[in-house]
Homo-oligomer: A and B are copies of this chain.
Amino acid sequence: MDGLRLLPLLDGAPVERSDAARNREALLAAAQELVSRCGVEAVTMDAVAARAGVGKGTVYRRFESREGLMAALLNHSETAWQASVLSGPPPLGPGAPPLERLLAFGHSRMETNLLHGDLIQAAGHSGARAFAAVSFAAMHVRYLLNEIGVCGDIPILTTALLAPLEQVILQQQTHIEQLPLDRIRRGWDDLVRRVVTADPPDSVDVVAP
């Protein structure tokens, strides 16, 4: 008699129905295959739906938009990467001094961003990337800067360090300006060194929110 019982367990996650889960798997698999067989371009919403044997509406129900679908695909590799940052071997993972970890972090992120270039671009500003990737990277860099003992507005400095690692920027440097990856990597090391070793600004009263 009370409709409350119908609500998902204690109001937590809206529970996922079995067919929904099955379809999500199928869609991700279909998309993955399409992207690895014919490139990102070929990943058409109709194509994915057809290959997964579902209607187009279903694709949009699971993943908001095309960008959302791409973001979901990205999340797989992204998660693996996060794991290697959090618990992989040094210097990327824990164990090395924070400055070395920061340098390794930059090189690693540079590589993955270039590796998944077109996927990242196709994902655009959507979904999980704005959440997972960006905020994780920011969190980690903030943490390392704190460990190193850098003074100043850490969140802003973090953005400044992360910005040149963004796919768009790297793309520009490698594809248009034709800079060798090596040089870009040295550039990162240099940038970090400059940011980290500078004297603190006159007034340091800004605190991370």
Contact = CB atoms under 8 A, between A and B. Distances in A.
Interface string A175-209: 01101000110110011011101110100001000
A169 B176 contact: no
Contacts of A164: 159-160, 163-164
Contacts of A44: none
B130 A187 contact: no
Interface in A49-100: none
Interface string A156-175: 11011001101011001100
A155 interface: yes
B187 A198 contact: no
Contact of A198 (B156, B166, B194): B194
A194 B145 CA distance: 14
Given A163-B164, A163-B169, A179 B194 contact: no
A127 interface: no
A30 B83 CA distance: 52
A117 interface: no
A157 B201 contact: no
B201 A193 contact: yes
Contacts of A156: 179, 183-184, 186-187, 190-191
28 contacts: A125-B168, A130-B176, A153-B186, A156-B179, A156-B183, A156-B184, A157-B187, A157-B190, A157-B191, A159-B164, A159-B169, A159-B172, A159-B173, A159-B187, A160-B163, A160-B164, A160-B191, A163-B164, A166-B166, A166-B168, A168-B168, A183-B206, A186-B206, A190-B201, A193-B198, A194-B195, A197-B198, A198-B198
